[in-house]
Structure 1
Amino acid sequence: MNNIPLTVIQHAPHIVEYRIQHPGKCGYVSLTLVVTLAVSVARSQTGSAAHKWLLLVLIPILLYWNLSRVVYESVISLYPHGLQLETHRGIRGTPLTPPFTLFISRKFIALPAIADIIINEGLRRWNVRYYLVIVCRNKANPIEPIVVHVVYSNILPQFRVLKQVYLGLHTDLFTRENKRE
């Protein structure tokens, strides 16, 4: 996970997307293997019934595993409204083919709920991992607990990439917020 590219897309004057493509290998090769395996089981007239049942159970598991891989994750800054966290799952692309998204999960965080955006560090085995966190607090009811949303939780990019996103989000949200007041 050394070279995870960050793509910054300016959709409109106040809408900026910080997208990180998953660095993993494409899924077309393993998906082709699953389809080949399914066709061979369907055409096979030899072999035991237990062997066929094992393959019929294994094929949907492998198919789900191939189709639910993370393609990319992004944070979209929607200035006066807040942030949107997205995770796109599907088939990762190759140098010749684009990625194919099948499932998208989105989470919107309103700007008044955002208390801060921080870069934190955690330990995983013998490694130090940095992660970007959005700290949310209910200003109307301070008794409620603080909620923390981890950005890029499936990819966990390097510190230099997180720092670029951190500085961009602070510029997009909090600098404009202070200028408006």
Structure 2
Amino acid sequence: MQQTRPLPDCHPELSVIAWPNFREYRVENWRLARDGSGNIIRGATSWGWIDLCLPVVISFIWPRLRDSNTWCAFVVLVVGFTIYCRCAQVLHESVLVFPAYGIQLETHRGYPLLKPLFVSRRFIHASMLEDFVINEGLRRWNVRYYLAAVHGSTTEKIAVDVAFENILPYFPVLLEVYKGVQELMFYNSTDNRHTCI
């Protein structure tokens, strides 16, 4: 296993992990501030001071609300919702490229200091993969670029799966992943022609 960061100065959240049989393009849920200060902007956060004050406030309110079932249910729901929000954050998203088999899109969710609690995976077989493209979409008044795997077969309709759909990294990160997937999945390294495996 060899891990590299191809864009260390401007986008260190992207790492490429090369295994013997496949390659993983991982985008973590943080990025550098755009003002050049080098500050880290985290997408997944651990406990803050408000979260730490919640048990103290509940310990003062609980004896007074113990007789009221609706208030107890409300407090339990608030605490449960807070814990769920902290444990269901997107930690990182990956595109795994298996050159002979296909690609796999992964989303890892959990608490930042622990291993991921939830992992969702979508595998697209090489015979069904039509193309892997960078596309653009409008979000309010912004143009956002995204990576998409276009797949289907003769009996099915064409489908599109978006890579990094929760983090939506910047264009240089998408371009680096796009070039890597195109090289491994579609281009033959000996004659440099666009051939699908």
> Per-residue deviation at 1:68?
0.6
Partner of 2:105: 85
Q: Spell out the pairing of 1:1-181 with structure 2 (5 A cutoff).
A: 3=11, 5-12=13-20, 14-23=21-30, 24-29=43-48, 33=52, 36=55, 40=59, 44-47=62-65, 49=68, 50-93=70-113, 99-139=114-154, 141=155, 144-176=156-188
Would the alpha carbon gap of residues 106 and 131 (structure 1) be closer, same or farther in structure 2, given more than 3 Å must change? same
Identity of aligned residues (%): 35
Looking at structure 1, the residues matched to 141 and 12 of structure 2 have their Cα atoms a distance apart, in angstroms, of 21
Alpha-carbon contact 2:27-2:94 (below 8 Å) kept? yes
Alpha-carbon contact 1:34-1:62 (below 8 Å) kept? no
- Structure 1 gap segments, 5+ residues each: 94-98
Would the alpha carbon gap of residues 46 and 19 (structure 1) be closer, same or farther in structure 2, given more than 3 Å must change? same
Partner amino acid, structure 2, of 1:109: I
Q: TM-score, normalised by structure 2?
A: 0.75
Partner amino acid, structure 2, of 1:138: S
> Per-residue deviation at 1:3?
4.8
Looking at structure 1, the residues matched to 160 and 139 of structure 2 have their Cα atoms a distance apart, in angstroms, of 19
Alpha-carbon contact 2:94-2:164 (below 8 Å) kept? yes
1:69-104 deviations in whole A, cap 9, x for unaligned? 1000000001100001110000124xxxxx531111
When the two chains are superposed, the root-mean-square deviation of aligned CA atoms in Å is 2.8
Looking at structure 2, the residues matched to 174 and 26 of structure 1 have their Cα atoms a distance apart, in angstroms, of 38
Partner amino acid, structure 2, of 1:5: E
1:7-53 deviations in whole A, cap 9, x for unaligned? 000121x3100000012142233795387369727x94234624333
Looking at structure 1, the residues matched to 169 and 148 of structure 2 have their Cα atoms a distance apart, in angstroms, of 13
Partner amino acid, structure 2, of 1:165: V
Partner amino acid, structure 2, of 1:29: G
Partner of 1:96: none
SS in 2 for 1:154: coil
Looking at structure 2, the residues matched to 37 and 79 of structure 1 have their Cα atoms a distance apart, in angstroms, of 53
Q: Per chain length, whose mean CA-contact separation is higher, i.e. which structure has more relative contact order (CA < 8 Å, sep 6+)?
A: 1
**Residue-pair matches, total:** 170
SS in 2 for 1:76: strand
- Structure 2 gap segments, 5+ residues each: 1-9, 31-42
Looking at structure 1, the residues matched to 178 and 164 of structure 2 have their Cα atoms a distance apart, in angstroms, of 12
Of Structure 1 and Structure 2, which has the larger fraction of its residues in helix?
A: 1
Q: TM-score, normalised by structure 1?
A: 0.82
Looking at structure 2, the residues matched to 110 and 129 of structure 1 have their Cα atoms a distance apart, in angstroms, of 27
SS in 2 for 1:28: coil
